[in-house]
Amino acid sequence: MLVKSVIEYAFLIPPCNLFGVLTLRKISSRSSRIKPSPHRRLVAKVDELLKSGRVVYNYSAGQPGLPPDENLIKDFYERLVKNPFNHFRYVSTKGLYELREAIKEDLRKYGGFDVDPENVVVTSGGVEGMNLSLITTTDPGDEVVLLDPTYSVYWDLAEFYGLRVRRCRQVLGNGFQPEEECLKNAVSKNTAAVIVVSPDNPTSRVLRDDLMRLIADLCVDNDVWFIYDEAYKHVVYDEEHVWIQRYSRTMEKLISINSFSKDIAIPGFRLGYTYAPKEVVAEIVKIKGLLSITSPVPGQWFAYYALTSGVKEKYLSKVLPIYRSRRDALYDAIREHLPEARVWRPPASMYLFPDMTPYIERLGMNDIDFTYQLADRKAVVMLPGSIFGDYGNNHLRITFVTQPEEKLKRGVEMVSEFLEELEKH
């Protein structure tokens, strides 16, 4: 009896071994080859610092700077209470029809082109759209073209889905625009998809119209998917978002990724949308049905009310001037307190991306250690540029939209003090 229970204990009830020590079952190589990201570690650091009672200067998140419209929230609450069933039920995997109609109207209004609501899928954030697009259009071993640096999640997704990456650099000296020759060489019949983020994260540049057309042409000519991440399409100050959809050759190969996290400021509702040619949409719906059935329905209604009540325009016209002056304050502070950094005043998005090479090299550090130590010693949290690609190495990604101007200036002063302290030792 005793022998039997020892055997059961040792072998039949994993994950405990003979000594009652927890052991792990096998973890897939697909999962374990993705390294924990320094980004997540820094996000956890923010919580740790806050718990310990320190004043934290957090410039790491792509959060909107102001909450959603207050009247809209009140109105939404009343509607929820009045008709809970309608707001909390399942809806079709493609998403609430009313919202997809509203998206169509919104794209017509801002972009001046038509998308059939049947080609729109409401997703759980832009990030689900990114995943679904790659799942449905690529196979392991396929080649994708990324601009370097780019949104860090794309590097991890390429690794996760077993994709080979060809990259075109985009560097500060060139206004963070990729080189035409590189694009022409990189895109071929062997390419599965080209991924473009514009306005960009982390560089905040808007990709030039002629380069966008070149990419659209290359994609159509080589039968390649053009994945256009437009999460920041409304967060533009000095230039205009490039609605490449108006260019007649684009739509045939275009998969557009969108987010409601930035423009109507609901990142926690996890909502976005993707539109694409119908054969891709059919596949996306099939796979999304397996992953999440549908995106959060209360959020879909919230987005519908925001798009159809004029609140989106109102919110954007309130926040964009604030973001712009925050951008300028951060830019000026960097010029003043970090004179050896190379920095650019971007036309859009939420981030400054200064090149800190002289400082970081002098300290004999890499940018990841630099940001960890900065967080530990000064409770100033910024992201290391290398997580966005090789060409982001030794840069810092600093969010300018979330903090008032004085706090942005103070954060940069603290980076400068941190450098002085390190250089003295």
Residues in touch with ligand PLP (CB under 6 A): 62, 125-127, 151, 197, 201, 229, 231, 259, 261, 267, 272
Q: How far is the CB of 324 from ligand PLP (least distance, A)?
A: 19
Nearer to ligand PLP, 315 or 359 (CB): 315
Number of C-beta neighbours around residue 424 at 10 A: 6
Nearer to ligand PLP, 95 or 267 (CB): 267
Residue at shortest CB range from ligand PLP: 125
H-assigned helices in 223-310: 278-291, 297-308
Which residues does 233 contact at the CB level (< 8 Å), separation at least 6? 110, 199, 241, 258, 263
Q: What is the spatial distance between Cα 210 and Cα 371, in angstroms, rounded to a whole number?
A: 36
H-assigned helices in 309-356: 311-337
Nearer to ligand PLP, 245 or 259 (CB): 259
Nearer to ligand PLP, 42 or 127 (CB): 127
Q: What is the spatial distance between Cα 115 and Cα 246, in angstroms, rounded to a whole number?
A: 11
Q: How far is the CB of 61 from ligand PLP (least distance, A)?
A: 8
Q: What is the spatial distance between Cα 252 and Cα 276, in angstroms, rounded to a whole number?
A: 8
Q: How far is the CB of 392 from ligand PLP (least distance, A)?
A: 14
Q: Which residues pair with 57 in a beta bridge?
A: 380
Nearer to ligand PLP, 258 or 416 (CB): 258
Q: How far is the CB of 84 from ligand PLP (least distance, A)?
A: 26
Nearer to ligand PLP, 126 or 149 (CB): 126
Buried b or exposed e, range 118-131, using 16+ CB within 10 angstroms: ebbbbbbbbbbbbb
Output the CA–CA distances (angstroms, integers) from residue 19 to 6, 23, 24, 25, 97, in the order listed: 10, 10, 14, 16, 56
Q: How far is the CB of 395 from ligand PLP (least distance, A)?
A: 16
Q: How far is the CB of 268 from ligand PLP (least distance, A)?
A: 9
